[in-house]
């Protein structure tokens, strides 16, 4: 089977890598189309998994709009006649590049396989533009791999299919492959020295929907927490996007127990997650991974398509309201997880299930 896998952000790289490895181990011809959106953050992940890129699109430009990114991607894909010989194109999740890749495949009558299909908030502006992207991909895709029972049920309600399957989340395959080997020794020296042996809270934030006032509210909450929890260290690898970094550097600089640092590599990323007392984030991937590590999550978004984690007590939805973030962090830090059952997002063997299914159903038209 000839399959092309298109991705470019760090979360996509993490979730696509186990799928690529599994396919290649089964001797399928799996090509990697890398958009280059998170070039610096994603490349170490591909190096760790020994995945070679077949096409680096290098699509990023300064102050780029989603419209210009989309136009550039379509032209780059269409310039490669050899790509049109693939049996299927795999896209993951809900980025604009994933949708544009699926749309290009549709224009060329190439079947689309969608990893992590069926996530929904039913508000196309939250998260923006991800909710619209994933709904549009579902209209195009021939094979839908849902990560949870709830996402699978969403696909049934929408009439997607007939090839829709619940396999779990491939991001947990990657977590399983590395988490047992990773310790604090993988952290950069300046982070290890900052943390010492103190308890710490892990922070990430990058969502486009929070740019502007939302980022300032998040910063306000973090500043209050740092002042009122002097016994706790706060570690914040800051996203390179200036809509994030400029706000956080301005509002949070100078706090003794809050370290603002560059984004860390994947191994350090997992090491920081493993030992955190609480994770404060707007990341979708962290909402899926943290339950496997037993770490509670405060979700800084107004809505989440990963509702299973909230329902089972692994995470709390706080939005960008400073008071809600503050209260949620304090509560989870003091009380820890009050959960029902195991990680609802998977067991670490989703890629195997996906390829078992693809080998059974063959090429889908």
The residues annotated with a catalytic role in the active site are 94, 116, 130, 206, 208, 239
Q: What tokens appear for 135 in the block?
A: 């709904």
CA-based max dimension of the chain: 59
Give the C-alpha separation, 35 to 151, whole Å.
27
Residue 152's Cα: distance from chain center in Å? 19
Give the C-alpha separation, 285 to 288, whole Å.
5
Instruction: Identify which of 147, 159, 89 has the alpha carbon closest to the alpha carbon of residue 118.
Output: 147
Q: What tokens appear for 249 in the block?
A: 């550097």
In this structure, the chain runs to a length of 365
Distances (CA, A) of 185 to 69, 160, 267, 288, 305: 38, 46, 10, 24, 34
Q: Where are the strands (E) in the chain, listed by range?
A: 2-7, 29-34, 55-56, 88-92, 112-115, 143-146, 163-166, 200-203, 233-237, 258-261, 278-281, 297-299, 315-317
Say if CB 290 and CB 297 are below 8 A apart.
yes
Instruction: Identify which of 124, 173, 122, 123 has the alpha carbon closest to the alpha carbon of residue 145.
Output: 173
Instruction: Identify which of 168, 203, 194 has the alpha carbon closest to the alpha carbon of residue 19.
Output: 168
Say if CB 327 and CB 317 are below 8 A apart.
no
Q: Which residue has the tokens 């299919």?
A: 161
Q: What tokens appear for 363 in the block?
A: 């090429």
């Amino acid at each position: 089977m000839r399959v092309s896998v298109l991705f470019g952000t760090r979360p996509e790289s993490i979730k696509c890598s186990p799928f690529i490895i599994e396919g290649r181990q089964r001797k399928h011809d799996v090509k990697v189309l890398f958009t280059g959106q998170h070039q610096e953050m994603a490349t170490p992940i591909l190096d760790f998994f020994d995945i070679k890129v077949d096409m680096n699109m290098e699509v990023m430009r300064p102050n780029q709009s989603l419209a210009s990114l989309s136009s550039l991607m379509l032209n780059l894909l269409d310039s490669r006649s050899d790509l049109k010989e693939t049996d299927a194109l795999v896209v993951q999740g809900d980025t604009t590049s994933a949708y544009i890749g699926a749309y290009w495949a549709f224009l060329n009558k190439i079947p689309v396989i969608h990893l992590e299909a069926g996530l929904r908030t039913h508000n196309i502006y939250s998260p923006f533009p991800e909710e619209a992207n994933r709904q549009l991909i579902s209209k195009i895709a021939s094979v839908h791999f849902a990560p949870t029972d709830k996402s699978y049920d969403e696909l049934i309600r929408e009439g997607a299919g007939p090839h829709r399957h619940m396999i779990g989340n491939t991001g947990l395959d990657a977590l399983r492959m590395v988490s047992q080997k990773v310790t604090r020794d993988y952290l950069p020296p300046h982070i290890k020295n900052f943390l010492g042996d103190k308890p710490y809270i892990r922070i990430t934030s990058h969502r486009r929907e929070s740019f502007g006032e939302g980022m300032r509210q998040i910063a306000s909450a973090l500043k209050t927490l740092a002042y009122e929890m002097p016994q706790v260290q706060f570690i914040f690898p800051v996203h390179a996007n200036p809509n994030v970094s400029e706000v956080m550097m301005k509002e949070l600089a100078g706090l003794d127990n809050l370290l603002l640092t560059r984004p860390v590599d994947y191994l350090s990323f997992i090491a920081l997650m493993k030992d955190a007392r609480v994770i404060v984030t707007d990341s979708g991937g962290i909402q899926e991974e943290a339950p496997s590590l037993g770490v509670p999550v405060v979700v800084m978004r107004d809505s989440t398509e990963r509702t299973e984690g909230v329902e089972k007590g692994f995470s709390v939805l706080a939005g960008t309201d400073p008071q809600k973030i503050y209260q949620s962090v304090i509560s989870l830090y003091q009380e820890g997880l009050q959960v029902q059952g195991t990680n609802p997002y998977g067991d670490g063997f989703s890629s195997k299930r996906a390829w078992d299914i693809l080998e059974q159903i063959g090429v889908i038209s």
